[in-house]
């Protein structure tokens, strides 16, 4: 799906999974670059050591929030900026294997 927001807006990207053995979930951002390749960045992930059950990577901590819910890892963005544009992918993990969703285009 596509999500269109204006600078300064807030939104929440949804991600959930069926009851599976995939204990860990994460969010990745894919940026379109001028070069032929794109870059994936880890945004957020489930973390057993965190009180929220999840953690945000350093470059995203200012405006992004997440909290592990039962089989879901919603990603909230406050005060959206142009640099937040990209495709966000949710993934669930079983062992070393990642299972990606179809992605959400944020523009």
pTM, full prediction:
0.87
Q: For residue range 55-90, what is the model confidence (pLDDT) as tens digits?
A: 899 999 999 999 888 778 899 999 999 999 999 999
Q: For residue range 10-65, what is the model confidence (pLDDT) as tens digits?
A: 999 998 877 666 678 899 999 876 666 678 899 999 876 666 778 899 999 999 99
Q: What is the CA radius of gyration of the chain?
A: 14
> DSSP letter at 72?
B
Q: What is the CATH number of the domain that holds 47?
A: 2.60.40.10
Residue 57, CA distances (Å) to 73, 84, 100 in order:
15, 14, 19
Q: Per-residue pLDDT for 2 more than 70?
A: yes
Q: What is the pLDDT of residue 22?
A: 67
Q: What is the pLDDT of residue 98?
A: 86
For residue 28, the enclosing domain spans 2-106
The domain total for the chain is: 1
Nearest to 46 by CA among 64, 63, 71: 71
Q: What is the pLDDT of residue 46?
A: 86
């Amino acid at each position: 799906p596509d999500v269109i927001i204006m600078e300064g807006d807030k939104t929440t990207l949804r991600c959930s999974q069926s009851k599976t053995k995939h204990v860990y979930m994460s969010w990745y951002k894919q940026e379109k670059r001028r070069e032929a390749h794109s870059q994936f960045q880890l945004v957020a992930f489930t973390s057993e050591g965190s009180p929220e059950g999840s953690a945000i990577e350093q470059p995203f901590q200012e405006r992004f929030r997440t909290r592990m819910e039962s089989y879901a890892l919603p990603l909230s963005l406050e005060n959206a900026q142009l640099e937040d544009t990209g495709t966000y992918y949710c993934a669930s993990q079983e062992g070393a294997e990642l299972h990606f969703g179809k992605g959400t285009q944020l523009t």
